[in-house]
Amino acid sequence: MGKISILLLGFFIFLNVTKVTGQNDSIPATPKLELVKDTLTSLEDFPKIIQFEPLTRIDSSRIYNPQRDPKRLWYNTGMYAVTALGAFGLLWIAPESISKWDKEEIKEEGLLKKWKENVKAGPVIDEDDFVMNYIIHPWAGGVYYMSARGSGYKPWECATYSFLMSTFFWEYGIEAFAEIPSWQDLIITPVVGSIVGEGFFIAKGKIIRNERRILNSKFLGNTTLFIMDPFNEILDVFGYKTKNKVVAYSSFIPIERNPFTNKQTWGMQMVLKF
């Protein structure tokens, strides 16, 4: 008999000797030998009454409850910095009808001087189109938010991260080399973006629990996950997997009364909290 079985047997004997029963049922006084016999019977019946899925058989790929991981957030921030520089380059080569940047003026004055002028002049109401202001920017704010949320941070921390990144890194940082900071972007990106980001977080959990499928399609599911949370998805693909919180605890509870011996049968209840 293994150590666990011996401990369970000792616990069952203790319950009977001290007349501890579940659901307010009492056990009549009986000789100790009889108690041991009844306990052995209950112990033998235990696996037949209640069975639990072993922890090792839980499919961890369907769990999404990230642990707090500052290193992961630093990696996300670094990838965003590289992506932001790439986005600046794309906007630079894009038509002025899209970027709204006066490139000739920027070239004449120089980037540093133009940045100082733009920072002093802002913020202003910009003239960007609806898609840029009310779709792209909220999505970007949601991506900032998910970078922190997918690294295990609390919602208010993620909203703060979204504000810092959208305001100081992008609006008063990289983009200020080309244009004056915008009121719409300063408000909409972190505020609406954080709401969008929490929606992304909830949706991502559901998609992962559904084996990363949408409409039974893994391609659609993985594409959606990448759109909602690109940097965490990239880290997962390259081996830095999201670490999920799994909490397990157990307790002894009364299961049912044995109809043959009229004794209360006890069992172990295991709860997994993700």
CA angle, residues 78, 182, 139, in degrees to nearest 5: 50
Alpha carbon 216 to its chain centroid, in Å, reads 22
| Cα(141)–Cα(147) distance, integer angstroms | 10
Which residues sit opposite 273 in a β-bridge? 247
263-273 vs 247-258, strand pairing mode: antiparallel
The rounded percent of the chain whose pLDDT value lies above 70 is 68
Cβ–Cβ < 8 Å for 17, 32: yes
Is the pLDDT confidence value at 248 over 50? yes
More confident site: 95 or 208: 208
| Cα(167)–Cα(222) distance, integer angstroms | 30
Q: What does pLDDT average to over the chain?
A: 79
| Cα(218)–Cα(158) distance, integer angstroms | 28
Q: In the block, which residue shows the tokens 């993620």?
A: 158
What would the mean pLDDT of 12-23 be, rounded to a whole number? 44
| Cα(143)–Cα(80) distance, integer angstroms | 10
Enter the pTM of the model.
Answer: 0.68
Domain ranges of the chain: 3-57+247-273, 60-237
Q: Which of 76, 73, 90, 74 is nearest to 174 (CA)?
A: 90
Q: At 270, is the pLDDT very low, low, confident or very high (cuts 50, 70, 90)?
A: low
Q: At 99, is the pLDDT very low, low, confident or very high (cuts 50, 70, 90)?
A: confident
Is the pLDDT confidence value at 29 over 70? no
| Cα(228)–Cα(161) distance, integer angstroms | 16
The Cα-based distances of 154 to 147, 149, 197, 267 in angstroms read: 12, 7, 12, 37
Q: Which of 194, 58, 59, 208 is nearest to 139 (CA)?
A: 194
Q: At 63, is the pLDDT very low, low, confident or very high (cuts 50, 70, 90)?
A: confident
The Cα-based distances of 101 to 118, 141, 263 in angstroms read: 12, 22, 83
